[in-house]
Amino acid sequence: MNETTPVPLFSASQVNAGQDFKGAVCRVLDSHWYIMGEEVKRFEAEFAAYLNVEHCVSVANGSDALELSLRAIGVKSGDKVVTVSNAGFYGSTAIRAVGAEPVYIDICEKSLTMDPEALRAAMVENPKAIIVTHLYGQLADIDAIVSIAKSAGVAVIEDCAQSHGAQRNGKKCGTYGDIACFSFYPTKNLGALGDGGAIVTDNIELASRVSKLKQYGWEGKYNVAVPGGRNSRLDEIQAAILRMKLPELDGQNEQRRRIAQRYNTAFKAFDLQVPSSVDDDFVAHLYVVRTSDREGFRKHLAESGVHSDIHYPIPDHLQSAYPVTQVYDMSVTVQACSTVVSLPCYPGLKDDQVERVISAVSTYFQRGK
pLDDT digits (tens, 9 = 90+) for 108-143: 999 999 999 999 999 999 999 999 999 999 999 999
In the chain, where are the structural domains located?
A: 13-246, 248-366
**pLDDT computed for residue 284 by the predictor:** 98
* 300: alpha, beta or left? (left if phi > 0; alpha if psi -120 to 50): alpha
User: Could you count the other beta carbons within 10 Å of the beta carbon of residue 76?
Assistant: 13
Query: Nearest-CA neighbor of 78 among 101, 62, 46?
Result: 101
Task: Tell me the pTM.
Answer: 0.97
Give pLDDT tens digits for 29-65: 999 999 999 999 999 999 999 999 999 999 999 999 9
Number of H helices, E strands in the chain: 13, 13
The CA distance from 260 to 228, in Å, is: 42
* Alpha carbons 236 and 34: distance in angstroms, whole number: 5
Question: Position 309: which residue type?
Answer: D
Q: Which residue positions in the chain have pLDDT lower than 70? A: 1-3, 368-369
End-to-end CA distance of the chain: give it in Å, rounded.
30
DSSP annotation of 187 reads T
Question: Rounded to the nearest 10 degrees, what angle do helices 249-267 and 351-366 cross at?
Answer: 30
Are the C-beta atoms of residues 346 and 191 closer than 8 Å to each other? no
How far apart CA 340 and CA 290 sit, in angstroms, is: 4
Could you give the CA distance from residue 227 to residue 285 in angstroms, rounded to a whole number?
Answer: 35
CB neighbour list of residue 150: distance below 8 Å, 6 or more residues apart: none
User: Domain 13-246, CATH 3.40.640.10 — does that match?
Assistant: yes
CATH number of 248-366: 3.90.1150.10
Distance CA 258, CA 254 (A): 6
Q: Dihedral of CA 182/184/188/189: which sign?
A: positive
Instruction: Look at residue 158 and give its three-state secondary structure.
Output: strand
pLDDT at 368: 56
Q: What is the pLDDT of residue 2?
A: 57
Residue 325: predicted pLDDT = 82
